[in-house]
Amino acid sequence: MWGFGIIIALYLYIRLAIWVGRKLAGKRESKQWKWGVRVTVVLVFALIPTWDAILGRIYLNHLCSTEAGVRVYQPVELPAEYWDVQGKSRFISARGILDMAVLGSRFQLSNVSEPQINWLIRIDKDRWQLKDNQTEKILGEKITFTRYFGWLNRFSPAPNVAESCRDLWVEQYGREVFFQ
């Protein structure tokens, strides 16, 4: 059902682009003018359904490079049981994830999510906060951003939901380097 509706909408959209191109090009203009108008119409009509995805990706790149990352507000000295014989932490996995079972009930990890921008494009700011339950202080946080794909993707039969700074970093550095 959706597939047939998308095909009809695409056909009408292309017909509209052709009609606009013909109206703007006129009959007496030079060939250069007509080609310039046609190229402009194709670019505009191609960007109409995709501009929010392009703009969202650019803004996500900016946020991930300028505001995302780890912030340490207060260091904590941990006793020997949190470390192995080589001095490596037992509470951080090989993939860099905190193992809350090792840390115990003294610490609490929570996620605070808030909209960064929710107009035309949607990007959320996620703050993973580590709290010391004894002192009630936030020791640090990891800030990341999540971009939800544009309106055209929502109507796709197999939509992708979102991408985050992690996806961009894996793309930039490679999976193995990123997890190290």
pLDDT tens across 72-103, in order? Answer: 999 888 888 888 888 888 888 777 777 888 88
Strand intervals (E) in 27-136: 69-72, 107-119, 121-132
14: left (phi over 0), alpha (psi -120 to 50) or beta: alpha
One domain, residues 116 and 39? no
Do residue 161 and residue 72 come from a single domain? Answer: yes
- Whether the CB-CB separation of 43 and 35 falls below 8 Å is answered with no
For 59-73, what is the mean pLDDT? 91
User: Could you give the C-alpha distances from 112 to 47, 115, 163, in angstroms and in order?
Assistant: 34, 10, 18
- Which residue's entry shows tokens 């951003």? 145
Last residue in a domain, options 48, 65, 83: 48
Question: What range defines the domain where residue 113 resides?
Answer: 51-179
Are the CB atoms for 128 and 109 separated by under 8 Å?
A: yes
Number of domains in the chain: 2
At 105, list the tokens.
């009930």
- Regarding whether 117 and 106 lie in a shared domain, the answer is yes
Final residue in a domain of this structure, among 11, 30, 48: 48
Q: Are residues 34 and 94 in the same domain?
A: no
* C-alpha Rg value of the chain to the nearest Å: 25
| Whether residue 25 sits in one domain with residue 62 | no
Q: Indicate whether 56 and 37 sit together in one domain.
A: no
Q: Do 41 and 122 have their domain in common?
A: no
pLDDT at 73: 93
Percent of the chain whose predicted confidence (pLDDT) is above 70: 84
Whether residue 15 sits in one domain with residue 89? no
Task: Kindly state whether residues 153 and 114 are assigned to the same domain.
Answer: yes
Residues 117 and 174 in one domain: yes
Do 75 and 19 lie in a common domain? no
- Give the pLDDT of residue 24: 76
Interval 6-16 mean pLDDT: 74
**Are residues 34 and 118 both part of a single domain?**
no
Mean local confidence (pLDDT), 54-66: 89
* Structural domain ending residue among the three candidates 27, 48, 69: 48
Q: pTM for the whole thing? A: 0.67
